[in-house]
Amino acid sequence: MLNITAARKARKKHIELNMAPLIDMVFILLIFFLVTTSFVKETGVDICRPTATTATSREKAKILVGITKDDLIYMDKREIDIRAVRANIERAIAENPEASVVIVADRESRTGITIKVMDGCRLGGAKNVSIAAGLPTEK
């Protein structure tokens, strides 16, 4: 009489799960998501935005122009002159013709500078120019 338990054990093969390909695949996916993620662009300065109850969120803002409370203008984390706004916008629009321009002005900046920047953006070829505002916080 054969020992049935011994025969079953002899038939069973030792199954081994190799983790190396799984880990490689996880790292490849991680690299893929890091490379394809679009990062948020900032103006390069801290700005205290004015609030507006009618403010809406704009998802596709590609070109940001910052104006500080000292009326300094920033684009791509560098300070630019008011006369250079048009040239910088022309260059940015040439890279991405569908991009919209958002002016992020501090609430203490002068309105005249904001209007000059907006005018420079439009002269630079920007079709969609808007001013950023924050939503009011509920108390």
Structure tokens at 12: 């069973």
Show the CA angle centred on residue 71, arms to residues 100 and 104, nearest 5°.
Answer: 25
Q: How many CB atoms lie within 10 A of CB 98?
A: 9
> 134 pLDDT band (50/70/90 cuts)?
confident
The β-bridge partners of 131 are 103
pLDDT for the residue 35: 80
Q: Round the average pLDDT of the chain to a whole number and report it.
A: 80
Structure tokens at 17: 């799960």
* Greater model confidence, 61 or 107: 107
d(CA 102, CA 10): 73
* Residue of 91, 113, 95, 96 whose CA lies nearest to 104: 113
d(CA 96, CA 90): 10
Indicate the pTM of the whole model. 0.60
Helix (H) or strand (E) holding 36: helix 20-36
All domains of the chain, ordered by start, with CATH?
61-131 (3.30.420.270)
For 76-91, what is each residue's pLDDT tens digit? 888 999 999 999 999 9
Phi, psi of 91 (to 5 degrees): -65, -45
